[in-house]
Structure 1
Amino acid sequence: MWPFDSQYPCKRLQDIADQAYDYIIVGGGTAGCALASKLSESPETTVLMLEKGPIKDGYQSRIPLASVANGIYTKRQNSSLGNRPVPILSAEPLGGNSRINAMIYTRGTPAYYNQWARTHPAWSWVNVEPYFCKVENSINLCQSRELESNIYPFLRKSASALGLPLGHDINRPDSPAMGYFDLHLTVDSKQYRHSAVRAYLPKEVAVRRRARLHICTGVVASRLHLDASTGLVKGVFVQSSEAKQTDSKTSPRKPTLVTARREVILGAGAIGTPKILQLSGVGPRLVLERVGISVVRHLPGVGSNLGDHCLFPVHVQVPVHETLQQLQSSTLQRAKHAILYAVAGKGWLRSAVDRAILPCTSHFDEEKGAVLATEAADDGETLPDVEIMVVPIGSLPELYPGKSMFTLQTCLIQPESTGTIEITSPDP
C-alpha cells in the first residue's frame, strides 16, 4: 500500500510558449482531466491542459481523511445573509475538487434526469445511465464496523422509526428516493482516494502520451485570444500563477500566447470559467467597464445564475471517543489509526463521511413524525430536497472550543437561490 511514484510528466510555462495545439483545455479539474484523456486518445491529436495548481499526488494526498483538509476556503460577504461571510471551497491541485472532496459518489435519482429531458430528450435517465456504467468499476470492499462511532446505530433506528427505508443501494435506479443509505465512495482497491487525475490521467497514461498531451501546471489563463475580425477564440494568453503585482504601479509579467488549431475548451469550473471570459472582455458590460476592461461582447449571462448546495450544520455533543476528535487529542489514537490504514485500509482515516439520510420535507407529516411516502427514485413527486450527511466531528470547531461534537451536515439539494460571479480587478 505504500506508493513511491516517479515524477509525473509536466510542462513548464517556457516549454509551451508560442506553441500551437489542436485543443487547449483551460482547467485541470474533474472535467478537464476527462476531456484531456479522451481527446488525446488519437495519436494524430495534440492537447494542452493548463492548471493553476501543482500535481501534489503524494501519499498523504491520497489518504481519504487527510486529503479532505487540503481545500482552500474563500470567504465573501453575502448581502442576502446580513453581510455574513460565506466560505466557498475550492481546490488547486491537478484533479480539482476530486482531490479534496468527501469522495461521495451518487449518480442522482432518475427523476432528476427525466425532468431535464423535458428540455432535451438526450438527458433522460435511459440515455445517460449507459455512460455511468461506462466509467464505473465497482469494487466490493468490506467496510469494517468495529471501529466506527456508536452513534450510527441510533441514527439508523431513528430513520427507521420515521418510516425511511434502510440499507438500499443509493445508486440503483429502482431504489427508493428517500432513505438511510450507506454511501459509495470513489476509492480504489487499496482504499486510496481515486481522484479524476488517477482515474483519467494516471502517470502511466501521461507518460505514454507525453508527445501529444502536454500538462502544464503552475499557470493561469489571463485571457482568451480573440480574432479581431471574426470574434472567434484563437488561443489563450498564459502566465505563471506566481506572477503577482508588486504594487499598484507595476504591471504583471507579460503573458505568453498559446494558439489552438481547433478549439479552446474552458473547464475552469463555476468560478474560474466566467472569470476568464470576463477578463477577455466577454460578459456584462457594467462589470467589465467597472474594472477598465474593453467590452468585446456584451453577454449578461456570463457569471450569472450561480447555484450551489448550501450546507448548514446541526451539532450534537457526544463523548470524544465517538468522534474523529480522538485523533486530534490522542497521539496513541493517531498512531493506531495510521497503522490500521497503512496495513489494512481500515480505521477512521479511510473516510469521514459514508452515511447519509435523504428525506423529502414535503412528504413528512410533522404531527405523526413520519414519512408519508417513499416511492421509487423515478417518481418526481418524492425527489429528496434535503440530504443529511453524518460527519463524526464538529464542522465548526471554533463555535465549541474544547468540546467533542458530532455533525449532521444538512444540505439543500434543490436550492432555488442563485448568485453571481463578477471580477473585481483586471488582474487574473
Structure 2
Amino acid sequence: MIRKASLSSDEAFDYVIVGGGSAGCLLANRLSRDPCNRVLLLEAGRKDDYPWIHIPVGYLYCIGNPRTDWLFNTEPDAGLNGRSLRYPRGKTLGGCSSINGMIYMRGQARDYDGWAAETGDDVWTWQNCLPDFMAHENHYRLDNGADPKTGGDSRFSDVHGHGGEWRVEKQRLKWDILESFADAAVEAGIPRLDDFNSGDNEGVGYFEVNQRSGWRWNTSKAFLRPAKSRPNLTIWTQSHAEQLILEAEDSGRKRCAGAVVQRRGQWIEVRARREVILSAGAIGSPQLLQLSGIGPAELLKRHGIEVAHNMSGVGENLQDHLQIRAVFKVGNAKTLNTLASSPVGKAKIGLEYVLKRSGPMSMSPSQLGAFTRSDKTQVHANLEYHVQPLSLDAFGEPLHSIPAFTASVCNLNPTSVGSVRIRSAKATDAPAIAPNYLSTEEDRKIAADSLRQVRKIVAQPSLAKYKPEEWKPGIQYQTDEELAKLAGDIASTIFHPVGTTKMGRNDDPMAVVDSRLRVLGISGLRVVDAGVMPKITSGNTNSPTLMIAEKAATFILQDAAAGA
C-alpha cells in the first residue's frame, strides 16, 4: 500500500531521524551541534513527562502501559512450550531508556572485536569503540578527577569518561540477602569485581545505573534537554513514520528522500536533503523498511507491497537474552515481597524516597550482577545473573506474597535466532515477533547447566542462615531434558532485541547495512540502533546502542563533509 501524504512540510531538513529513543536522542544532539544542519526528530510516542518514567521503580508502571510502551507480544514460541511473552519497547521520548532497568553495561571486548571481524572494518574493535563509550559518559568514580588525592580513582580514568551527558552512578541501597548471595557466589568460585565495564566482566558485584541523585536518567534528559533550544532542531512527538519516500536516481539506484508521517490525524511528507536515519529500534526499523518495500521480496509480495529493493536480511537475525527466573523462598530475611506487603510498609518506602531518594523506590529491577561460565569448557563468561530481593511472575505483575529472592540467569551468546516480519501493509498493525528461544541444542544445554549453577551458588554456606528453598523451577527436576523444558516454562525476555538490520560485508546475503551503517543499495538511508549489531553483546544492550549512535554521528558528519 502506497500512502499518499495529504500535506507537505513547509520546512526543509538536512536530516530526518525516525525514532526518539536512545540512539535518536543522541543523534539529534550531535547532528544539531552545527547550526548549519537542520534536524527533525520524529517520535511516535509522547513527551517523557509521565511521572513514573523518572522514578526508578516506575518501570513497573511503564511496562504494559500504552502511555509508554508499544505493547508488543511475541508469537507463541515452541522453545517456551507454546507461550507468548510481553515484549516491551519504549514509546515515548527516550524510548527504552525511559522504561528499562537502567543498568550501565558495555559487554565484553570480544563482542566488538567480533563485529570488526564480521564487517571487515577495524573501526568496530573494542579499542576503537572505547572512545565512543567515553565520549558521552559522566562516571561518578571520576567526579573528583582521576587524582586519588582529590578523591578520584585513577584506575578508572583509562576506561571511563567524565563530563559527558550520560550519567553513571552507583546504586543507593543494599540488601543483606544480596550481600549474602555475593558471598555465596565467591564461595562457588566467581571472583569479586568492582567494574563490569573494562572489557572483561567476569565476576560478581553491584550493577552501576543510569541515574542522577536517585532519579532515572534517560536519554531525553541527557541529550535533548541541552539541545532543544537550538533553532535548527525540530522535535515532533506523536508523529509516526509510516513509510519511506524512495525516488529513482539517474543511475537507477533508489534514494531515500524522506518519510510520510502520521501526525495529529494527517499524513505529512517530510523531506531530507542529506539523509534519513532510522533509529526506531530492532523492531520498528525493520518494520518500516518492509512497509516501504525494502526487505524479503516474498514477504512484501504476500502483503501487496511493491518491492523497491529485495533484501533478505531485513527483519531476520533477531537475537535476544532469555532469562531463566529461579525463585527461592527464604526465612529470616528482609525482601521487597514482605516489605511492600502492607500499607505501612509501602508508606515507609515512599517516605524514604521522598526524603532521601533512596530505598526500594530508587531500585533498578536488578541490583546485584554476576558474570561467569556455564561450564569449564567456556573460554569466556557466557552467563549473566540478575539477582533481586523480590519475586514475581514477570515485571509488571504483582509481587509474590512469600519472602523470596530471584536469581535470574541468561545465556549471553545465544545461538537461537528469530525474525521480525510485518503482518500486513498497515503501519498500525504490530509485526510478528518470533525470537525462536531455545531452538538450538546448545542453548538448551546451557539453560540446563545454568540452573544447576544457580543451585550450586544457593547451596553455599553464606546463604545457609536463610534456609533457601527452591520454589521455581523445583528441585525435583534434574535431567538436562527436564531442566530445559522447565526453563521454557519460567523464562522471560530481558528486553534486549538486536540484529534485525545487521551490518556486514557487501557479499553477506543477510547484511542490511555496511560498516558505516548505510543501507546497502539505497542512497541517503542509514540505520542507527540495536538492530545493526551482527551479534548480541555479552550484557545489557542500551549503552552499546548509545556507543553505536556516537560512532554513527561521526560517520554521518564525515560523509557530509566529504560530499558522500
With normalisation by structure 1, the TM-score equals: 0.82
Q: 1:233–1:264: 8 Å Cα contact kept in structure 2?
A: yes
What is the RMSD computed on CA atoms of the aligned residues?
Answer: 2.5
Match of 1:212 in 2: 232
* 1:286–1:402 CA distance, 2 compared to 1 (3 A): same
In the other structure, the counterpart of 2:368 is: 355
- Which of these residues, 331, 343, 367, is aligned with residue 331 of structure 1? 343
Q: Which residue of 1 aligns with 2:130?
A: 129
Matched residue of 1:295: which SS?
coil
Matched, 1:22 2:14: yes
Give yes or no for the alignment of 1:200 onto 2:223: yes
- Gaps in structure 1 of 5+ consecutive residues: 1-12, 244-253, 365-380
Q: Say which of 177, 180, 184 aligns to 1:158.
A: 184
% identical aligned pairs: 33
Tell me if structure 2 keeps the 8 A contact 1:177–1:383. Answer: no
Change (3 A) 1:177 1:34: closer
**Corresponding residue to 1:54 among 46, 49, 55:** 46
User: 1:16-39: CA deviations, max 9, x gaps?
Assistant: 834321100000110000100000
- Secondary structure of the residue aligned to 1:90 is coil
2:189 aligns to what SS in structure 1? coil
Which secondary structure state, in structure 1, belongs to the residue aligned with residue 269 of structure 2? strand
Amino acid at match of 2:370: I
Equivalent-residue separation in structure 1 for 2:106 and 2:13 (angstroms): 34
Counterpart secondary structure, 1:270: helix
Alignment of 1:158-197 (within 5 A): 158-173=184-199, 177-188=201-212, 190-197=213-220
* Structure 1 partner of 2:110: 111
Deviation at 1:383, TM superposition (A): 2.0
- Secondary structure (helix, strand or coil) at the match of 1:322 reads coil
2:75 to 68, 74, 77: 77
Aligned position for 1:374 = none
User: Cα deviations across residues 215-249 of structure 1 (Å, max 9, x unaligned)?
Assistant: 10112111001114542111100003x76xxxxxx
- Aligned pair count? 381
Cα distance, 1:198 vs structure 2: 1.1
User: How far 1:404 moved relative to its partner?
Assistant: 4.0
User: Is the aligned partner of 1:392 residue 2:414?
Assistant: no
Inter-partner Cα distance in structure 2 for 1:319 and 1:62: 33
- TM-score of the superposition, structure 2-length normalised? 0.63
- Which letter maps to 2:375? S
- Output the amino acid matched with 2:36: E
1:358-380 deviations in whole A, cap 9, x for unaligned?
A: 1111327xxxxxxxxxxxxxxxx
Match of 1:371 in 2: none
CA distance in 1, matches of 2:223, 2:329: 41
CA 16–216 in structure 1, closer or farther in 2 if over 3 Å, else same? farther
Asked if structure 2 preserves the Cα contact closer than 8 Å seen for 1:20 and 1:261, the reply is yes
User: Contact between 2:390 and 2:399, CA under 8 Å: does it hold in 1?
Assistant: no
Distance 2:341 2:405 in 1: 15
For the pair 1:235 / 2:281, whether they are aligned, the reply is no
**Aligned-partner SS, 1:361:** coil
Judging changes above 3 Å, is the alpha-carbon distance between structure 1 residues 214 and 35 closer, same or farther for their aligned structure 2 residues? same
- Partner Cα distance (1:390, 1:270) in 2: 26
Q: Secondary structure at the match of 2:312?
A: coil
Give the C-alpha shift of residue 389 in structure 1.
0.3
Counterpart position of 1:42: 34
2:352–2:358: 8 Å Cα contact kept in structure 1?
yes
What SS does the corresponding residue of 2:259 show, helix, strand or coil? strand
- How far did 1:347 drift? 0.7
The aligned counterpart of 2:527 is: none
Moved more, 264-273 or 406-415: 406-415
> Which residue identity lines up with residue 264 of structure 1 in the other structure?
V
Structure 2, unmatched stretches of 5+, are 64-68, 142-168, 428-564
Is the CA contact (8 Å cut-off) linking 1:75 and 1:87 kept in structure 2? Answer: yes
Q: For residues 142 and 116 of structure 1, what CA distance do their matches in structure 2 show?
A: 30
